[in-house]
């Protein structure tokens, strides 16, 4: 297809990163973001969308704006069936159906699919009755991993060596009406592998690493992600192929066999353990903030790749091409994040190089102000991780958000050669 009009649904730094690579794609002739943010307005039209999770509204917008392709960024619209509504309307969509999105929407469903496909993951037990909690906890050892079996964007998980804290968190999740998932603890470095999938074929992108904890040296609570880098200089050459062969392809094959093929972006969140890569979670969409670094290194056409997935022609599509260097992103969060945040602070330097917007909006007087928890994602690139890290932090130094905070150690250990694969058992 030439002259492609692309509509991106969402308003975070992930969507800003998607719009940035699409804007540099010669095949893309028009871009729209809905709802978008203060940063995406420079790259894309903002036609307006009241509810990104309304299939009816997204279809109406895609029709009126004459979109050739709709790329759905966040999971909530996909879980709500926006991908189905677009397909039913005959509009090409990069993003799975609601049935495919269950791989993220229900952790219990994901475990069932993995068991059927013989994919390595943590042992787990679902608990839906507070009376069963103590007995279930006693069947696991420290550290305990307690998850909310509902959508919590990585924030519903507690990993703790304090069994009392594990019990309190599980009880709170149950009180909220959600089932609890207890899991065995997976050791080893974490990695995120994004795969473009068309129902049957799997095309991996560069592996990345995310920093989930709030503070330096992984102190503090889990967040949506405070920074990321790609690629992984410490990963062996065969890692991506091993993950595709032992994890992603079996899951894609199992979903197709169940009559609910997955088409879109399948994100494998992995622990690289001494017994090989194991799944921590699947997501049905691009990860945030890993997308910001993976796409910063993409050199081939993103619209060709997404269209090939949406039309079931991935096997014919050339493999994506990548820069030789590295990319690092550092998230700037608002005061209070990941709890209740302060918004409305004026941001200085928000239009600087490498600054992707997440929770921002432009005030009537032109000032860019904070409007969410993760406010900005500053991206740096370089010939290696050290150079990319220096670039990201130099760019960050020109940005100021009152009360804002960020981690100072993103990619530090990897750049210093301190991250290693565990020895295989
Ligand atoms: P999730 O919401 O499943 O992505 O979990 C968020 C974070 O909690 C992960 O990125 C890991 O750091 C941690 N985590 C989740 N499950 C496990 C597990 N079974 N073992 C060790 N860490 C885990
Ligand atoms: N970076 C974690 C996520 O997108 O879920």
State the Cα–Cα distance between residues 105 and 180, nearest whole angstrom.
14
Residue 299: strand, helix, or coil: coil
Q: For residue 371, give the nearest of 348, 347, 344 by alpha carbon.
A: 344
Ligand 2 close to Cβ of residue 75 (< 6 A): no
Residue 280: strand, helix, or coil: strand
Residue 153: CB atoms within 10 Å:
16
pLDDT classification of 330: cutoffs 50, 70, 90: very high
Q: What percent of the chain has pLDDT over 90?
A: 92
Q: What global pTM score does this model have?
A: 0.95
Q: How far is the CA of 282 from the centre of ligand 2 (A)?
A: 10
pLDDT classification of 152: cutoffs 50, 70, 90: low
pLDDT over 70 (residue 154): no
CA of 225, closest atom in ligand 2: 1
Q: How far is the CA of 105 from the centre of ligand 1 (A)?
A: 15
pLDDT reported for residue 222: 87
Ligand 1 close to Cβ of residue 145 (< 6 A): yes
State the Cα–Cα distance between residues 134 and 55, nearest whole angstrom.
42
pLDDT tens for 172-205 read 999 999 889 899 999 999 999 999 999 999 999 9
Sole residue written with tokens 């993951």 = 121
pLDDT over 70 (residue 341): yes
Q: 90 is written with which tokens?
A: 């005959």
Ligand 2 close to Cβ of residue 154 (< 6 A): yes
Ligand 1 close to Cβ of residue 185 (< 6 A): yes
Q: What is the DSSP string of 349-376?
A: STTSTTEEESSEEE-TTS-EEE-SSEEE
Query: Ligand 1 pocket test: which of 214, 219, 281 has the largest number of ligand atoms within 8 Å of its C-beta?
Result: 281
pLDDT tens for 211-260 read 999 999 999 988 999 999 999 999 999 999 999 999 999 999 999 999 99
Q: How far is the CA of 296 from the centre of ligand 1 (A)?
A: 26
State the Cα–Cα distance between residues 391 and 407, nearest whole angstrom.
15
Ligand 1 close to Cβ of residue 110 (< 6 A): no
pLDDT reported for residue 108: 80
Of all ligands present, the nearest one to the C-alpha of 290 is 2
Query: Ligand 2 pocket test: which of 225, 407, 410 has the largest number of ligand atoms within 8 Å of its C-beta?
Result: 225
pLDDT reported for residue 150: 67
pLDDT over 70 (residue 153): no
Q: How far is the CA of 284 from the centre of ligand 1 (A)?
A: 16
Residue 206: strand, helix, or coil: coil
H/E element, 333: strand 326-333
Q: How far is the CA of 280 from the centre of ligand 1 (A)?
A: 6
pLDDT classification of 169: cutoffs 50, 70, 90: very high
Report the chain's mean pLDDT, rounded to a whole number: 96
């Amino acid at each position: 297809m030439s002259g492609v009009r692309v509509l991106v649904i969402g308003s975070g730094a992930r969507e800003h990163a998607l719009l940035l690579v699409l804007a540099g794609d010669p095949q893309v002739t028009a871009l729209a973001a809905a709802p978008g943010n203060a940063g995406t307005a420079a790259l894309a039209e903002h036609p307006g969308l009241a509810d990104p999770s309304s299939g009816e509204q997204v279809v109406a917008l895609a029709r009126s704006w004459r979109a050739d392709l709709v790329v759905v960024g966040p999971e909530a619209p996909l879980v709500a069936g926006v991908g189905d509504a677009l397909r039913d309307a005959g509009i090409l969509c990069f993003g799975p159906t609601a049935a495919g999105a269950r791989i993220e929407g229900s952790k219990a469903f994901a475990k069932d699919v993995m068991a059927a496909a013989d994919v390595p993951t943590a042992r787990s037990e679902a608990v839906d009755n507070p009376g069963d909690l103590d007995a279930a906890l006693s069947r696991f050892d420290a550290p305990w991993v307690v998850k909310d079996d509902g959508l919590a964007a990585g924030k519903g998980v507690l990993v703790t060596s304090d069994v009392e804290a594990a019990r309190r968190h599980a009880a709170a999740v149950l009180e909220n009406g959600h089932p609890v998932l207890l899991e065995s603890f997976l050791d080893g470095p974490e990695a995120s592998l994004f795969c473009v999938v068309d129902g049957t074929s799997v095309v991996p992108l560069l592996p990345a690493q995310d920093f989930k904890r709030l503070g330096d040296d992984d102190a503090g609570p889990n967040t949506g992600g405070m920074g990321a880098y790609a690629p992984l200089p410490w990963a062996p050459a065969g890692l991506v192929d091993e993950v595709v062969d032992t994890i992603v392809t079996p899951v894609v094959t199992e979903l197709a066999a169940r009559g609910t093929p997955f088409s879109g972006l399948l994100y494998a969140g992995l622990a690289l353990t001494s017994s090989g890569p194991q799944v921590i979670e699947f997501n049905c969409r691009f990860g945030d903030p890993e997308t910001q670094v993976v796409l910063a290194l993409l050199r081939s056409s993103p619209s060709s790749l997404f269209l090939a997935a949406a039309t079931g022609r991935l096997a014919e599509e050339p493999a994506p091409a990548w820069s030789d260097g590295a990319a690092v992103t550092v998230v700037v969060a608002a005061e209070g994040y990941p709890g209740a945040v302060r918004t409305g602070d004026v941001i200085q330097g928000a239009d600087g190089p490498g600054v992707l917007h997440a929770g921002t909006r432009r005030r009537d007087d032109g000032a860019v102000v904070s409007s969410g928890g993760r406010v900005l994602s500053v991206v740096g690139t370089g010939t290696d991780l050290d150079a990319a890290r220096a670039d990201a932090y130099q760019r960050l130094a020109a940005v100021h958000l009152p009360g804002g905070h960020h981690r100072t150690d993103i990619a530090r250990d990897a750049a210093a050669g301190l991250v290693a694969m565990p020895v295989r058992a």
